[in-house]
């Protein structure tokens, strides 16, 4: 085949892509358009093998390889972005929501309550004498307690509820779609369960002690007020210290 014919065949390839430029799509991180261009290239490779000469087919092969590599690279980038976004709202130790994730879900829950309307419950959980555990047994023992409490809360709430670690030894549970008449029962159930936990540690077991506070929400509730009310209720229920305070 002469150089002129080969040149014509090679110019057919970008023309059939309707002006889409692979290199620009890669630079712009435009995954939908890139996938569309790659699909066109694949169809061309199957539909036109007899009408294109070796030079044009080589160009198609190069473009297909570039498109496939870019698709894979961009898919990995998307997955990494999703992972990093999850880290921004996830507590690394317990895999629960962190404070940022809790605040976001609380705002969504209250927005739903205003829109539908519906009622729900906010529970706060504060571990008692947790510092004494860290001081006596070490931070790894404290971490074991935190993970056990997190798992117990997660396992004993619904998929529609949100469980978060909002501080060092503080947890929160947003219970959506919860009638007011069930609030006290649910709070007492979780409190009884957590306070019955015994966490194995080396050659002993560590008992868990926690105080709970609750506040019901409805369409008129606001995040700051709701948290304040639950916090006040928690400290009214706060259990006495088991380790005497130093004078």
Residues serving a catalytic function are 169
Q: What is the Cβ-side half-sphere exposure of residue 32, based on CA atoms within 13 angstroms?
A: 0
Distance CA 148, CA 201 (A): 11
CA atoms 141, 143, 146, 152: torsion sign: negative
Contacts for 73 with CB less than 8 Å, ≥ 6 apart? none
Distance CA 67, CA 33 (A): 11
Distance CA 207, CA 115 (A): 42
User: Is 214 in contact with 122 (CB distance < 8 Å)?
Assistant: yes
**Strand, helix or coil at 93?**
coil
DSSP state of 90: B
């Amino acid at each position: 085949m002469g150089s002129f014919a080969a040149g014509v065949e090679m110019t057919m390839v970008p023309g059939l892509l309707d002006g889409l430029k692979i290199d620009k799509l890669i630079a712009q991180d435009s995954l939908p358009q890139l996938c569309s261009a790659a699909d066109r290239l694949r169809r061309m490779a199957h539909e036109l093998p007899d009408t294109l000469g070796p030079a044009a087919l080589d160009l198609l092969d190069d473009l297909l390889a570039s498109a496939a590599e870019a698709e894979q690279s961009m898919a990995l980038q998307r997955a990494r972005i999703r992972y990093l976004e999850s880290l921004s709202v996830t507590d690394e130790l317990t895999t629960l929501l962190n404070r940022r994730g809790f605040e976001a879900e609380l705002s969504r829950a209250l927005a739903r309550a205003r829109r539908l309307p519906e009622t729900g419950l906010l529970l706060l959980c504060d571990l008692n004498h947790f510092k004494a555990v860290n001081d006596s047994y070490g931070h790894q023992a404290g971490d074991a307690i935190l993970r056990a409490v997190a798992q117990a809360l997660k396992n004993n709430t619904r998929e529609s509820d949100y469980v978060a670690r909002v501080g060092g030894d503080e947890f929160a549970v947003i219970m959506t779609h919860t009638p007011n008449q069930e609030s006290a029962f649910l709070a007492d159930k979780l409190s009884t369960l957590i306070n019955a936990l015994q966490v194995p540690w080396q050659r002993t077991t560590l008992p868990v002690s926690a105080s709970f506070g609750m506040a019901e929400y409805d369409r008129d509730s606001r995040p700051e007020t709701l948290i304040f009310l639950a916090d006040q209720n928690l400290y009214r229920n706060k259990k006495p210290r088991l380790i005497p305070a130093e004078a």
